[in-house]
Structure 1
């Protein structure tokens, strides 16, 4: 391990600006129809948005910065929260692993896009409830997808603000981010072996996404939290702008999220300003959420 490269990774993981990608990561997760159906059946973004945010952010920070005992406590809480999140029992392959949604459909003799309303850029805009989608929050492939969305979103936001990483640095950061899945008992070998393999996995996984009606309802609740504190609701126009802008055209259309040339100009300007200002802030300001969430974690143990 090169000390400078490890420092780069921990600095990236501590950056508050990465939180701007939280909405995008969640929408990517629920665009997997199996994950979306489980979350829609057992989640309540509209009623507890801050608690949901705190749990996710605490886990992400704990995987990098917490002690082993602190991380174990966070993982136990996550496992307890995920216990009820199951849709119908997952079909299994010959090794006993749950089949990914597109593989399960193939095993059942059906194509992944049959019966839907159309495909845009490989992302299927499904119109139904998808009652056959299978999800268990402890399925390793589901854990891989969730970890992948967190890593890829963090990298996307970081590079929009700080510029692209050198390839060697990007490779190291990618390898270290595998802890997001392995901390939840995902076998380490499921994390693609290198960045090139991850990019291939990502392209295939994104092409298989299908946004269903339950996923759209979750997205609406996430982006319009009517019971949230007033200060959070006041920030939601910016949250919606950033989330929609980071998704790209295909997913915006699949989620039926409004976007216009004016929206794109505002989004571009926002990140131009962020790239000019945010890196010049002192680290104690840029890392403040990390420190706050870790203090809260330690106070709760």
Structure 2
């Protein structure tokens, strides 16, 4: 880790824009949870307007991790208002269970994907965070769920507990035609802002490389030894260049969303 890089809590990791490299992974992991994925597919404009969902998620994360109490409260109120109407019955054919965006189990999974994806990218770029600091950062991520309907005791107490929870939940994930279609629409980039479209092949590569192996094929994401080599080369380059960027540039997205409220 560079000598100038000290991590003290969740705000120090959430502020680093490089963790956005894990956003696609977090989204696909959420879609692969049958209840979350079908709730998104039926009640969200996510596939039609992925930037709106991304903006909302980033505003929520930054407000809770680095914002004022007033910004945090406003972010929670916005999310609760959206979640209020996201619910539906189980499918008659058993393809997905009933879903309710206010369900603590679903909120735990969403918060877990945000933590795990950000932590993996951060560790790749800033390796060597002391274990005791990593535990403090991990505990801080609970706020992403507990600020909503997630009881505080539901967040796994330690990183070791989280690892067990994560392994168990990832084994239960599955992708069907509905959730695959949403994922493909998002990754095809036709609905993202024009200035981001040239970067979408790189986004797809990094998203695929960060995904658990067993989810690549179900999502229709091709992988090969060549793609894996390119992925590792990209991550190596990011790790070599990003820490040397000015802090003001690295934290620019956070400051933008906090100013926007």
Asked if these proteins are the same fold (TM beyond 0.5), I'd say: yes
Task: Give the drift of 1:293.
Answer: 0.8
- SS state of the match for residue 150, structure 2? coil
Answer yes or no: is 1:274 the counterpart of 2:248: no
Between the two proteins, the alignment pairs up a number of residues equal to 257
Matches within 5 A, 1:128-207: 130-207=94-171
Does the C-alpha gap of structure 1 residues 129 and 160 become closer, same or farther in structure 2, counting only changes over 3 Å?
farther
Task: Give the drift of 1:227.
Answer: 3.1
Query: Higher mean Cα deviation, 166-175 or 129-138?
Result: 129-138
Distance in 2 between residues matched to 1:156 and 1:294, nearest whole Å: 24
Does the C-alpha gap of structure 1 residues 132 and 89 become closer, same or farther in structure 2, counting only changes over 3 Å?
closer
CA deviation profile, 1:95-127 (whole Å, cap 9, x unmatched): xxxxxxxxxxxxxxxxxxxxxxxxxxxxxxxxx
Query: Is contact 1:5–1:172 with CA below 8 Å preserved after alignment?
Result: no
Greater Rg over alpha carbons, structure? 1
Task: Give the drift of 1:217.
Answer: 0.9
The residue aligned with 2:56 is 55
Query: Is contact 2:90–2:96 with CA below 8 Å preserved after alignment?
Result: no
Matches within 5 A, 1:1-301: 7-88=8-89, 130-297=94-261
Query: Higher mean Cα deviation, 182-191 or 158-167?
Result: 158-167
- SS state of the match for residue 196, structure 2? helix
| Structure 1, unpaired ranges of 5+ | 91-127
Task: Give the drift of 1:89.
Answer: 6.5
Query: Is contact 1:21–1:154 with CA below 8 Å preserved after alignment?
Result: yes
| Structure 2, unpaired ranges of 5+ | none
Distance in 2 between residues matched to 1:271 and 1:179, nearest whole Å: 29
CA deviation profile, 1:226-285 (whole Å, cap 9, x unmatched): 133322222111110111110032110221211122211111000100111101111111
Does the C-alpha gap of structure 1 residues 76 and 171 become closer, same or farther in structure 2, counting only changes over 3 Å?
same
CA deviation profile, 1:204-230 (whole Å, cap 9, x unmatched): 111111112111011011101313332
Task: Give the drift of 1:5.
Answer: 7.7
Distance in 1 between residues matched to 2:94 and 2:60, nearest whole Å: 30
- SS state of the match for residue 211, structure 1? coil
Distance in 2 between residues matched to 1:56 and 1:129, nearest whole Å: 32
Give the TM-score normalised by the residue count of structure 1: 0.81
Task: Give the drift of 1:132.
Answer: 4.3
Give the TM-score normalised by the residue count of structure 2: 0.93
Query: Is contact 2:9–2:140 with CA below 8 Å preserved after alignment?
Result: no
